[in-house]
């Protein structure tokens, strides 16, 4: 009986019904946090002494980069849960997380490049962090490509979960080796001019943005998962009922 909630969690129908209640809340909270964070960060936070206004891209860059990595781990964990407990829903969450993660990684790379131009004087630099983000993007794209290539959804789910897990084992190794590589090949020409402690007046809006990004991520992930559930389960009675009642 203690496992009942766990089994229920694995049912796409249960998730679909529950999440329709969560969706407006998640949307409202993330919009509130994001709007407050953007207005505070871009309009009211003080200028940086060295970087001027250009540092303000941090309010997009850092949350996107954080979530890009966290998203990969979320994908790996849900893939593992799917493989171990054969849970349909967690495979769907994994599949939904891949394009979102890729988009966030891409956003982190683009904002990083735009930030690099005024501060470092170049859009692209083979710095350890940038390079490992690029490889993370390739990992995401590979998983998406694999999921599209396998026609049988059941196989695609398991194959993607396995590839994600292999990638998880590799991420620390890739990160460490790229770090080693760039420290060897690039003796401190360009350093990320990040102050070790960021002033509270700049930090609070950043915190708001990070929280807002997390809520936004949860919202998008839920929305994507709901679409995948409908696609997968459209033959079932409950989806047909929803269709006839025009509730979608």
Distances (CA, A) of 88 to 7, 17, 162, 183: 10, 16, 15, 44
Q: Which distant-in-sequence residues (6+ apart) come within 8 Å of 243 by Cβ?
A: 234
Residues at the contact surface with other proteins, assessed by CB under 8 A? 135, 138-139, 141-143, 145-146, 149-150, 152, 154-155, 158-159, 162-163, 165-167, 169-170, 173-174, 176-178, 180-181, 184
Q: How far is the CB of 106 from other proteins (least distance, A)?
A: 15
Q: How far is the CB of 95 from other proteins (least distance, A)?
A: 15
Question: Which is nearer to other proteins, 67 or 137 (by Cβ)?
Answer: 137
Question: Which is nearer to other proteins, 9 or 146 (by Cβ)?
Answer: 146
Q: How far is the CB of 84 from other proteins (least distance, A)?
A: 12
Q: How far is the CB of 161 from other proteins (least distance, A)?
A: 9
Q: How far is the CB of 160 from other proteins (least distance, A)?
A: 9
d(CA 19, CA 27): 12
Question: Which is nearer to other proteins, 34 or 87 (by Cβ)?
Answer: 87
Q: Is residue 214 classed exposed, middle or buried when 0-12, 13-18 and 19+ CB atoms within 10 A define those classes?
A: middle
Question: Which is nearer to other proteins, 70 or 146 (by Cβ)?
Answer: 146
d(CA 185, CA 78): 37
Question: Which is nearer to other proteins, 58 or 128 (by Cβ)?
Answer: 128
Could you say which DSSP state residue 195 is in? Answer: -
Q: How far is the CB of 101 from other proteins (least distance, A)?
A: 14
**DSSP string computed for 114-180:** HHHHHHHS-S----HHHHHHHHHHHHHHHHHHHHHH--SHHHHHHHHHHHHHHHHHHHHHHHHHHHH
Question: Which is nearer to other proteins, 177 or 241 (by Cβ)?
Answer: 177
Q: Is residue 64 classed exposed, middle or buried when 0-12, 13-18 and 19+ CB atoms within 10 A define those classes?
A: buried
């Amino acid at each position: 009986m203690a496992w009942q909630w766990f089994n229920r969690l694995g049912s796409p129908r249960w998730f679909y019904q529950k999440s329709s209640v969560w969706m407006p809340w998640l949307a409202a909270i993330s919009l509130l946090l994001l709007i407050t964070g953007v207005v505070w960060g871009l309009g009211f936070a003080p200028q940086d002494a060295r970087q001027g206004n250009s540092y303000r891209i941090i309010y997009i860059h850092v949350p996107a980069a954080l979530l890009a990595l966290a998203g990969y781990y979320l994908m790996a964990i849900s893939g593992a849960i799917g493989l171990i407990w054969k849970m349909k829903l967690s495979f769907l969450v994994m599949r939904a997380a891949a394009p979102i993660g890729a988009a966030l990684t891409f956003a982190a790379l683009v904002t990083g490049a735009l930030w690099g131009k005024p501060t470092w004087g170049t859009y692209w630099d083979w710095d350890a962090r940038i390079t490992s983000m690029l490889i993370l993007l390739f990992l995401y794209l590979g998983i998406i490509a694999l999921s599209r290539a396998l026609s049988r959804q059941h196989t695609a789910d398991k194959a993607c979960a396995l590839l994600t897990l292999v990638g998880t084992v590799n991420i620390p190794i890739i990160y460490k080796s790229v770090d080693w590589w760039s420290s060897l090949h690039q003796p401190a020409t360009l350093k990320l001019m990040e102050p070790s402690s960021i002033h509270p007046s700049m930090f609070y809006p950043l915190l708001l943005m990070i929280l807002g990004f997390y809520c936004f991520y949860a919202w998008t992930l839920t929305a994507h998962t709901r679409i995948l559930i409908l696609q997968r389960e459209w033959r079932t009675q409950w989806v047909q009922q929803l269709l006839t009642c025009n509730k979608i």
